[in-house]
Amino acid sequence: MSATAVRADCAADRSGTLTFDLTAPAPGPDAVLLLRRRGAAGRKLGGAVRVPLSRSGPGRLRAVLPAAAELAEGRWDAYVEEPGSERAEAVVEPGLRDLRALVDRSPDTGTASVSARVPYPTADGRLAVRCWVRAPHAEAGAVVVGPDGMTVEGVLYGVVAGEGAAVEARLPGDPARVHSFPLTSADGPSGAFACTLPYAPPATGPVPEAQLWQLWLVPAAGADGVRISRILDDVWSRNKSFVYPGRPAAPGVLATPCYTADNDLCLRLEPGAADR
């Protein structure tokens, strides 16, 4: 197989198994689907996962990545690799993606680790897989933008909220700027939680430019925080598809709930007029 692009349709089941059906010329006997983890700015990281390919029809190849296969958190680019003296790699382009089984997944709240894998098209037209591995995990649900604060509902996995449970807004790079707000409700057996974060406290400090405050759930007094994110569906990057209105947090400061490109929930503060 030459180092040219091939095309892959993807399907997911509720367990997390991914099936890739490729349209490609006949490979050599040792060809595999290669998943290689990508780092910041697209650089390659150590580690790769190779999935065997089998013939599934005329001009069709199939690779199955089981849910039990280990895949570290990150973004994994897909290739077809044919071993040889030059180890030719064919770029895999995205075809049809059937990800309906991933919508609104609800793992057992007692599970120690939550993982999610979403195939997606990259900006330059390649196929990649976004993978999350969180232990424990706080899954964000409804986010309601109020006039004075944001209300967040969600489900906590792998740990139970106890006495002193709270949500913290943290400003990265400045450990002194942390604001804590108690949960307004928590149900241990179901993992359900809710909290309200007023906009004003984070805005008491200087906001000379845009600030992205990370939101963490602290399940009990003195416990480690759990990042609040939304990963249990078919959306690989929520920062542009989930957009919330801004509200005044302080004179000349606008507060807006938002998601990062990695689906972590944040509160963005920025200089701005109240009528934006």
Distance CA 75, CA 42 (A): 9
3-state class of 133 per DSSP? Answer: strand
- How confident is the model over 249-261, as pLDDT tens digits? 999 999 999 999 9
Please give the backbone phi and psi of residue 138, each rounded to the nearest 5 degrees, phi first. -115, 110
Block means of pLDDT (10 residues each) for the chain, 276 residues, are 73 94 76 86 66 85 93 94 71 95 84 92 95 96 97 96 96 95 93 97 94 97 96 94 94 96 97 65
Distance CA 254, CA 185 (A): 27
- Contacting residues for 262 by C-beta, under 8 A, at least 6 apart: 229, 237
Q: What is the pLDDT of residue 72?
A: 94
Q: What is the pTM of this model?
A: 0.90
- Give which of 120, 130, 116, 132 is closest to 92, Cα–Cα: 120
Q: What is the pLDDT of residue 273?
A: 65
- How confident is the model over 52-111, as pLDDT tens digits? 998 877 778 999 999 999 999 999 999 999 876 455 688 999 999 999 999 988 888 778
Distance CA 217, CA 164 (A): 11
